Amino acid sequence: NAGVTQTPKFQVLKTGQSMTLQCAQDMNHEYMSWYRQDPGMGLRLIHYSVGAGITDQGEVPNGYNVSRSTTEDFPLRLLSAAPSQTSVYFCASSWDREGNSPLHFGNGTRLTVT
Amino acid sequence: AQTVTQSQPEMSVQEAETVTLSCTYDTSESDYYLFWYKQPPSRQMILVIRQEAYKQQNATENRFSVNFQKAAKSFSLKISDSQLGDAAMYFCAYRPSGGSYIPTFGRGTSLIVHP
């Protein structure tokens, strides 16, 4: 049981490049989400999904795209990377839509945009 | 919108001593859940403890316990017999029981443990 698998662990991009951060979970979780973590800012929600085919915006969605074609996968796409997107990104999932389920996190991706 | 406030950006404690990390939140909901997560230098986010708002009894997990004051909207984490491995960033999180069910995180408290 791998839990939440997030790749890559590190990535360096040039301004204007695009890339996709991969996230997969094998726990049959309905809820999946992407956060970015910046110093002193905590975790800010980028996008989330409550099931296959359903996605919605979080607090900081600009410059990011997501899709949820299967229950297992929830990739995050950076359309045209900007230095402001330098951050650590976390994918997280939970068992159900009820609040009592804790989030299970991937190991994070450290992204640097130069 | 719900907000979660961790007023202590950094705390320090001597090994074997006790430390309390503060968290307050703002919500109009009556039913919700609260969590503390630990993020060590490895960057992995780990669930420390969970509290259901409808339960009056404070949650406890080994050396970790909470002081949940629903009326005051306060959810502090107490770490007893602190160990060097407790050094980490700690995040408080709120999650409603229904509706949007989107978790809201505080900005975190960095805990330093001195030997």
Interface of B with A in 29-48 (CB under 8 A): 31-33, 35, 37, 43-45, 47
Q: What percentage of chain A carries pLDDT values higher than 90?
A: 86
HEC assignment per residue over chain A? CCCEEEECCEEEECCCCCEEEEEEECCCCCEEEEEEEECCCEEEEEEEEEECCEEEECCCCCCEEECCCCCCECCEEECCCCHHHCEEEEEEEECCCCCCCCCEECCCEEEEEC
Interface probe, candidates A105, A107, A110, A111, chain B, greatest B C-beta count within 10 A: A105
Residue A1 has pLDDT above 70, yes or no: no
Q: Which two tokens stand for residue A28?
A: 């049959």
CB contact under 8 A, A99 and B95: yes
Q: How many angstroms separate the CA of residue A74 from the nearest CA in chain B? A: 16
Which residues of chain B carry a pLDDT beneath 70? 1, 99-100
Phi, psi of B79 (to 5 degrees): -115, 115
**Cβ-Cβ contacts under 8 Å, B37 against chain A:** 103
Q: How many angstroms separate the CA of residue B8 from the nearest CA in chain A? A: 11
Tell me the pLDDT of chain A averaged across its residues: 94
**What pLDDT is recorded for position B48?**
97
Residue A98 has pLDDT above 80, yes or no: no
Mean pLDDT of A82-106: 89
Residue A55 has pLDDT above 70, yes or no: yes
Interface probe, candidates A31, A41, A103, A110, chain B, greatest B C-beta count within 10 A: A103
CB contact under 8 A, A90 and B45: yes
Q: How many angstroms separate the CA of residue A23 from the nearest CA in chain B? A: 15
CB contact under 8 A, A103 and B43: no
**What pLDDT is recorded for position B86?**
97
CB contact under 8 A, A103 and B45: yes
